[in-house]
Structure 1
Amino acid sequence: MRMTRMSLLALLGSAAAMLGLLAVLISPTRPSPGLSNDQTLRVLLSYRLGASDFESQHVFPSLELTPLNEPLSLKSGPDAQHLSLALSALPQRPLRFTVQNGSIVAAVDGQVYPLGSVVLLQAVLPETAGIIRYRITSTTRGTPPANPEYPGRLWLRAFNTGLLMVNEVGMEEYLKRVVPSEMPPFFHPQALAAQAVAARTYAYSRMAAGPENNFWKQFGADVDDSVSEQLYNATPTHPATDAAIAASRGQILTYGGQPIQAYFFSTSPGSTAPLEEVWPDRNPQPYLKAQAQASPVPGAIQGEAAALAFFKNWNRQGYYDGESSLFRWKVSLSRGELEAILSKTLPAIAKASPEFVETPEGALSPNTPDFKLGTLQKLIVQGRTLGGFVTGLEVQTSSGRYLVRRESNIRSLIRPTKALTGGPDIGLERSNGTQSLNFPTLPSAAFALEEERDGNGGLQRVTFWGGGYGHGVGMSQFGANYLGKMGRSYPQILTHFYPGSSLTSLPSIPALNVPR
């Protein structure tokens, strides 16, 4: 849910032209139903969560799995509309899938079975569909690492020399593996129920989105299983989150009779942020506005001096997100470290999101082979929400000025990790006194800058004083936990974070045109 469709397209590059065929090859034809409790959605699974490009993350070089509890049937064919039974397998018998010459090959019990380019795995008997599980032994999840298990049905598709795998799963089973992956099960039960409703709403909105607004539809999926959408099956199911899902069963948030865009994130610095200011390529929504997350309500941040004072104040009292260790944070980088980081991140962002990187004085674009960063002279905040989120950051160097916009780009521009500097570990100090080494990006775009200069005025070091974790739009999870502890019910929590929305039971939702 956190990575943009545009950045994924850029990562995929020239391969994107081939992928329009996948929706035809992997997606069965089915009607466009109204939303209901028993609807299924499709999740594109990851081979390696957090990998830097599409193929490294989603393409399985080979796939090894074991059916659990019940026997499975395996159907195969050239596409999803023309499948026939190929074989059946007993539980606890491992299967291995590879791709040879564009077709899938299965190996089980010493026998090899040539198949088509699409394979469907499901329970032999419809009445056991809710019991069967598939343990994937060719990838791991969680800490300590473990082989994940999936319910429902699995769709396999030959892709280059590997496989794409899509899990077709009932909505409530999907949520049982999303909610504990996105929110700690020890959070307040009302916060967990609010998270369940937000996650269910988000999933339905992605199902309803057309291919032009949903990157994953070309792969026969509604979402993927990473933080690009909602983290799925990274943490085992838990009784507390199961109970929260059951308590809110079938409930979603609507506005004007349609599912809202139920964004959520970890920690606010004292306010959430307006959708259109964080992501300027998206239309404003009346239920995704800035909401204060403190009592008494902090005043609007006016100017950079006020922003610096705000973020240097680590007093948690009165702030809904104060229990989060990333309520406040800071990281300090030397000019040399910043130059090493920016010389890599600025060209990458200019290539992936050229519309959000400006060269105000006509300097050489970072998206050119001859680009040289030069000497860093200054970082300047060129836009900020009233709650503190930076919306534009200018990089001044001896080679020119470069203005970077959009929350995800600003966070990715300053990546405090030795992987980019080649030097010693870089520490990010949290408000609880702990330190994280080599944080992959800035925790949020809510920060202020403090410079150190030498006697000649040359930049020596920049300290980023910041607050919060995540994009800042919608529901703050630590804030929801606080409100639950303060006696708010999950409908009240949702009303607080998504004002103007309505809590709606699915049977009363009108039919949507859901392109499949």
Structure 2
Amino acid sequence: VPPGGELTPAAGARVHDVIAGRGFHWQRRIDVTLAGVVELRPGRRGVVLVNELPLEDYLAGVITAEMSGSCPAALLEAQCVVARAWLLALTEPKHTDEPFDRCNDDCCQRYQGTDDLSPTALAAARRTRGVLLLTPSGGVLDANYAKSCGGISETPVAVWGLEKPGVSPIVDAPPDASERRFFPVTEANLDEYLDGDWVRTTRCYCSPNVVPVDAIGRYLGRVDTTDDYFRWTKTYSRTELEALLRTKLGDPDELVELRDLRVRARGVSGRAYVVEAEWRDGHGRSVVRRIESEYRIRQVLHPRFLYSSAFAVRPERDADGRLTRVTLRGAGWGHGVGLCQIGALGMALCGHEYETICRHYYPKATLSRAY
């Protein structure tokens, strides 16, 4: 597609073996078709492929990589507004030593070219052209988003240690929903939040009651795996978890026997941002290692990457009190800040328009058409 040409599905140059989901549980290689200008440029670690194209064409590629082009129009419109705001807010300097503005992956936001474009997605990009989310002071909102909040979204402070004007946590359910009793999630209500009887009938927008698990595959991005992300379970034997900690923490000879794994600090959605691992070392001493930040916790406690850090630690012990197994029972997929993509899908399936979806996830922000 030459500059100024009309964007169409599968138009452009074909590129093979592009890594998608770098470092995450869904990492794979895919082929993509790139519209606009495609160039090879010298980068920090070698030659990089750079795709230069108009902002609105780029956004059409983002919304059909983050989610499917088969999604309802309202979801694609909301995703387009949010992706545009995040990009233009320019509050997260990334890749400053590389010859491009943003990467094609979840480090920034997914962009996988034109292969997955649909008429609905192209219309969504056109309808929301120039629409931005603004902070209370009038700046462009740093509109983060994640795949599934699990029922309650998170604060930027709990995830990144900083405030983001206009971004605040919400309960991902209708205003009159009883789920609000869990806000904030604490150690006292965590088990009920994860597994109470309410989960079977909840009206949370990201729950399988609103977006059924057997239907979600048609709405996710092509590199996403189809799982129940509203509630999930990951179980390790003690030896499996010990091996994982040795690999991820870089102390292979220090950890002899794991004694405990515990959460020391959580955000309002239950997402842990401080976890402690306690073990016996080769000298019989007790060692306590802190794992800090939502991202690092997810990186350490999974061979690839844990769905989220909103989990309860459920240890099992033998008759002597020695740890034998650890189960992580969790909620959601991703950091949980801002728009919940599966929740926004649920709202769209319930008939809500994109403006309502944006105001639900960013209640302190305003919508404005800049161009």
TM-score band, normalised by shorter chain: 0.7 to 0.9
RMSD: 2.7
1:299 aligns with one of 175, 179, 182: 182
Higher relative contact order (CA 8 A, sep 6+): 2
2:131 aligns with one of 242, 251, 254: 251
1:185-224 residue pairs with structure 2 within 5 A? 185-206=69-90, 209=91, 213-224=92-103
Shift in CA distance, 470/316, structure 1 to aligned 2, threshold 3 Å: farther
1:60-459 residue pairs with structure 2 within 5 A? 133-137=12-16, 139=18, 147-159=31-43, 162-206=46-90, 209=91, 213-233=92-112, 236-255=116-135, 256-280=137-161, 283-294=162-173, 295-296=177-178, 297-300=180-183, 303-313=186-196, 314-323=199-208, 325-347=228-250, 366=251, 372-399=254-281, 400-415=287-302, 417=303, 440-459=304-323
> Aligned letter for 1:177?
G
8 Å CA contact 2:20, 2:105 repeated in 1: no
User: Secondary structure of 1:223's match?
Assistant: coil
Give distance in 2, aligned partners of 1:129 and 1:244.
Answer: 15
User: Secondary structure of 1:445's match?
Assistant: coil
Q: Which moved more, 1:190-199 or 1:314-323?
A: 314-323
Give distance in 2, aligned partners of 1:483 and 1:129.
Answer: 31
Aligned to 1:80: none
| TM-score, normalisation: structure 2 | 0.82
Q: Which one has a bigger Cα radius of gyration? A: 1
Identity of aligned residues (%): 28
TM-aligned CA deviation for residue 185 of structure 1: 2.6
Q: How many pairs were matched up? A: 333
Give distance in 2, aligned partners of 1:387 and 1:226.
Answer: 25
Shift in CA distance, 130/332, structure 1 to aligned 2, threshold 3 Å: closer
TM-aligned CA deviation for residue 391 of structure 1: 1.7
TM-aligned CA deviation for residue 411 of structure 1: 0.7
User: Secondary structure of 2:242's match?
Assistant: helix
User: Secondary structure of 2:189's match?
Assistant: helix
Unmatched segments (≥5 aa) in structure 1: 1-68, 70-122, 348-365, 418-439, 508-516
Shift in CA distance, 394/491, structure 1 to aligned 2, threshold 3 Å: same
8 Å CA contact 1:308, 1:450 repeated in 2: no
Q: 1:305-338: per-residue Cα shift (whole Å, max 9, x none)?
A: 5312321334252221112521001111110000
Give distance in 1, aligned partners of 2:43 and 2:202.
Answer: 53
Unmatched segments (≥5 aa) in structure 2: 214-227, 282-286
> Aligned letter for 1:404?
I
Shift in CA distance, 277/484, structure 1 to aligned 2, threshold 3 Å: same
Q: 1:422-451: per-residue Cα shift (whole Å, max 9, x none)?
A: xxxxxxxxxxxxxxxxxx321101010111
| TM-score, normalisation: structure 1 | 0.60
Give distance in 2, aligned partners of 1:189 and 1:298.
Answer: 32
TM-aligned CA deviation for residue 302 of structure 1: 6.0
> Aligned letter for 1:180?
T
